[in-house]
Structures are given as C-alpha cells and as structure tokens.
Structure 1
C-alpha cells in the first residue's frame, strides 16, 4: 500500500513538472502597456507618462504602445517627455490613432516603431507662440534641429522631419512647397518609412507586432494627474494667478471671510497642487510661499513695511520657482499683478467708503463744504458794520471794530488812516470795505 501511494505521488510530481512549463507559453506570458497621449501636450502630461512607464517596467512588460491622438502642444514639455522615452529600455511603439501634429509628431519620431490608421496624419511641426505667430528665429532654429535629431535617433530620413518644421523645404510630391509645412498621410508616411505599417484597429496592431496573445494593460490618468495637466497649461496658469490675486485683494477690503477669499485660496491651491503633481514644483516652493504669506500678515502688526516687501518677494519667488520656466512664470505674475492693481483701483473708486479694511488703511473722508468743512470761519455777521481804519488801506490794511483789529482790503481805492469804512463783503478770510460818505450813511 505504501509503495502504491509512493508511486502515485511520484507520478503526480512528474506530470506536474511536465505540465507547468506548457501551461503558459511565451505568448501567454507577454504583457504590453497601452498608454494614451490625447489632447494637448503640456507639462502635466509628463507625470502621467512617467508613472505609466514605471508601472510597465515594474510589471515586466514587453512593450509600451502609445495611443497618439494630439494636435501638438508645448515644445518644452515635449522635450522633457522625449527624454523619458530615451531612458526607457522597453520598446516604444507609437500608434497614431488619428493625428500626431507638431509636438505629437516629435514624440512619435522618438518611438522605436510607428503605425498609423488609414486616415492618420503626422507633421506640421512649426513652433507657434502664444500670440498665434511663428516663433522667433532662435526658437525656430532650435526646434528644427530637435526634429532632425529625433528622426536620426530612430534611423529615419531627417529631410522629412525638417520639412515638418521648416516651411522653406520644397517637397511638391507631398504638398510641401515654399511656405508650406509637411504633413504626411498614412500612405505617404509608410512610403518614406516614417511609418512601419498601416492598421485599422489596435487589435490588428497587436497582431502585426507579434503581441496578439499578450495581456494588454491600459493606463488612465488619475484625477490628480488630470488636474495637473489642466492647471499647468500655459494658458491656464495666468488665469489662475489672476483669480488668486484679485480674490485676495477683494477679500482684504471686505469684512469677514467670504467668496472672494475662498476663490483666491482655491486658485493658489490648484496652482501649487498641479505643479507639485506634475513634478515641476518641490516642497521648498510651498514652504517659501507660506513664509511669504506669514510676513505679509505680520506687516499689519509691524511698522516700517519691510516685512510686507520681503513677504511679497517670497510669494512671487515661490510662484516663479514652481512653474519650471522662469521667463514664462514671470510674465504670468506680471499679468496677475496688473489685473489685481486694476481691480484695486476700481474698488477704491467706486466702493471705497463701503469696504472695511480700506477705511483703516486709506483716509476716505473729504474735507469739503458738502461734508461741513470750511477752511476759515466765514464772519457774515460783520456785513454792514462801520469801523475805523487804523492803517492806510493800499488796498490792504487794518480796521478796528468794537476794540477788535481786523485785516481787510478796500474795493480798490486808497483809504487813509482814521477814516470810517463799511464792511460790504465777507468771503472767508477776505473782508472787503469801502469808505462811507461824509454823512456817515450806510449804503
């Protein structure tokens, strides 16, 4: 019996040893990651791609498929993402599911292989400024060089990459004459070997690339990464900072704490949170910002203004440091300051007397006649009274009335000392007299 049990266990062990190697073939053990790159390319996209690539590496993935559908974006963000491609050991396969224009074409050229859907396009990669105009010669030249380098790094003919960014390359066969940027269709891209094939679906792409039986892991942006992509967009940044500055200004000049203050703080939170998630800002920038806020608050209790100036500089410095691009962030801060200053001027002009803190900081009362203020006592009770000159009036001089010496002026004529005069006009401190007639009558 024991011998039978022993033989049975031995047989099961041998069978299991034979079955296990075949229970998972190489194809079944394969795993690929599908990573979407949609909409504009901005700095916040880097954090999502970095996380996706890291997850793929830790999972032992065989390849990364980039699902590209983008009109382009910002060149500095694309450059940083391209560096991520270069340090990744896994094969990167770009799948242009619709279009890969501008910075999108640049990223596609950094992939190991490119596949396109039949209606796909890639190209049109000229650098455009935020104003909508072509970039300056320096930025344009650098971008053309980057496009050429991207094509060369993947073994592609750099002429077509250059034509995508340089409008003066003449390629009439592909509708790129003088002044036109090259945009390749799927068929044209395959013809010039900028595409390794044309496929209709992602499933077909897996079959063509040898991963038909591979496990596909699709990554998606987290809520935090989506916020980071939105708030780090160069168009959104100055809007956020403007809302923050204007909200804080309104809150300072209104009693209590209300909607403007909440909007300002929310805008600042979104700004720093987004840049922190995107990897553009560090905790040192937040610490510097908190120190700046503390110094500004201390300014209300300390004389001299030094704490407020240092605090304001610390706040501005932390914002510029958080953005990654000092020049652009400096421009954004100036825009926010201009909007806050304009808002402050409007507040002081139209709502100044109704606001709480403003009344403590700025003298709002006017010393005008409507408010009951006069520069001198207007002695209207002197009108019609007769006095005697104590000095000649040439035309100014002095008179005496009931023992009081009063400075006066004549109506223009000379009046000698000791003459009787009548007070005919009182205008504040200006008292006008004229000499009475010989009978001393008052006219």
Structure 2
C-alpha cells in the first residue's frame, strides 16, 4: 500500500507517493505507538482518579529499593499535578537500601503539598529516615520507628572507618531533613548513631550506647507541651484524616507492577539510545531490511515508556520526538538537495526530547533546567552518541563486505522489470526533455523508475500512480534533474 506524504510548495499542494525507501515506516510507527501506550495506561489511570482536593494515600511497604523510589516519585508528582490537598504515605518497612532512601528523602523534601507518614506498623532503619522527610508523623497503636544504624548486606556491622564516614554523612542529612520538616534533629541522629544522647531539658530521653527505637506511645509523648516525634496515634487512615483535620476524598494509589521495569529502563537509558540510533542507521543503510527499524522503534519506545513510568517524563516529550522524526523524514524525502532547515529543526527537537525525558523535574520548579538537572541526561546522551559514532564507523567500514548487506543491496537495486544490461544511461540534462515529450517505461514506475526517450535512459517519477513497464509515457513536468511523467495511454 502506498504511503502518501503531503507537501506544500508555495500555494500549490502536491501529493507524492513514498514507496520503497521506507517500506516499513507504518509498521515501525505502529510498534512505537503500541509499546508507548502499553505501560502508559496504568500510569495515566493513576492521574485520572485524582481530583483537586483529594487526599492521596501511597503505600510504602516492603524493602526500600529503587522500584519503591520509582513508584513514590511518580505518585508524588501525580498528586501534586492533580491538585491533591495532601499525600499520606502508609509505611510498613524494616528498611532497605540507603541510596534509595536518600533519593526518596530528596523527593519528599521537594513536595509542594502537605505530607504525612502513617506508620502501620514498622518504620525501621531506612523507613525512619523517610518518615522524617514528611511534615507529619502518625503511628498505629502497635508500631515502632528507629534503629537506622547502617550495616552490611549480610547484617554485619561496617568496618570502623567506613562506619564513621557513613554515620557522619547520614547524620548531617537526617538532621537537615528533620529540621526542614519540624522534627527534633537529635531524635533522627539517635536513630542512626548509638553514641548520640538525646536530652530535652534535664530529662535524658535516650542514653548513649544503643541506637534509638521508639514505640508509638513513646514517640507521641508530649514533653514541654510538644510531642517527642509523632503528631499522634491513629487506628487507620480515616482516623488519621479526622485527627489531622484533612478534608477531601481518600484516593489510594498502588504500585502498577511496572516500577521495577521502569528502574531498569532508566538505568539502561544509554544502551537504549544506542540501540535506537544504530537501528535507525541500519534502516537507512539497508532499506530492504525491516529488523533494524523495528529494533530502533522498540528501543526509543521503551526509553520513553520507562521514563514516563519513572515519573520523569510526560507524553509531550514523545510528541516532540515524533515531530522531530517527521521533520527529518520530510527533509530526506523532499528537500534532500535544497534546504536543511527541516532536518536541523528535526534533529534539534529529537535531541531536546531525549534530554527532557531524563530530567527529574518536580511541580513548582523552574521551567528551564538547572545544571544539576542536566548533568545525568547530558552524560547519558553523550555516552550514547559517542558509542554510536564508533559503532557506525565500524559498520560503515565492514558492513558493505558482508553477504547480508550485499543480498539486501541487490534486492533493492534491481527491481522487477526488463533487464537494462547494455542500455546507455545519461543524465536528464544531456537531452532536451520538455512537456509532451514521449517515451517508454523500462521498469515499473512505482512511482520512480527508468524510462527511455529516444536513445537515452533517464530516471523519472510519476505523480503517484503505478505504470507497468513498456507503457508509453509523456513528460508533464521537468525540474532540473527531476522528470515527472504520466501514462500516454490516458492522453
């Protein structure tokens, strides 16, 4: 089937059939759209159920891990963008990875709406650090928070020097997070540092020697008219909203199951970009092969899908990328020997969309990214482009020597039709071709092909229709090297 592209020249609109050079374009775009929409439905549904003024409940259960970070970041942004009145993190975790806890803490400290933690029923280790990054802490009647001393994955203590360095850094991070959210920084430090004594007035809350762990009753005890840590004890989420004076419908968001996939996709972003670039190069280099184009479309679709599920990008960056691809194709198909404006703008839009998809931006931040925001995206893109240049240079040198390339090149360079062996070929400018000149099609014109005018064989193109070989044709337009013909049988 012909794929028609509409091009505007001045005040005239002409239609040209695009065939042969990109035979798989419709298939590739369909694959791109299918993969992009696959995971987007779940993430989009989370945004659709949140209305302005709702109270969003986000479960933080199990191990603190990169997938939990991905889920929390996505739901936090969805809640803020939808105008939720508050977000409650229902926590039940014994801890996990400190690096993920640091990222989660950073994300929570950027929140622009009130944040609550409902400990039901454990906030151990890294969980206690996350709780301190929210503005309000409520605890179930039987619950605990604390014991955040860093240990090895085996459960053993860190070596002395490494332990001191880790505690020094994390103590500073915990204290700053606690102060920002109105909590006692000494409590947070004592969660991690067993050498920290907590004293309020003349009362010693926690002596040195062990890391601090608080029960619900201890955490909510009022000293000098102020709770030690927690705002109160709540039996449930509904009870919490009543005691906190929150108004609005309660909306619960749950992990979609794609968070782990999103983590790996974002981690492998340079490889996906590399696969997309190399696949696109091979698709242009070997027009008859469909696999490279499919791989390219799949890599780019997975790239955008993963960053969307990770809460880093919206669908607008996909639209920007597709627009860039369309402009590049317009440049290649219709203006290859003319202007380069479409190609330059298209490449710029594609690169911009790739960088934009990797920027971690939160609601309320400036539109233009800072240097810190751009550091990782630019590094990923640089690595992908640098690797692509090396791989393409190798392919350009050795690919034409392979049997696979020669097979496809032979298929695309010899279309069905009469043999042209021995037929002299000259440029169209070598003979005068004017409107009405009669000739004969030597190959199938679909829409381009070869035709004979007298003793000369020239390249011609139709207005979009197919013309079989040995069909009389007539010239209807000439434009430099371009000769447009139609069947003379119709005349």
Structure with the greater alpha carbon radius of gyration: 1
More relative contact order in 1 or in 2 (CA 8 Å, sep 6+)? Answer: 2
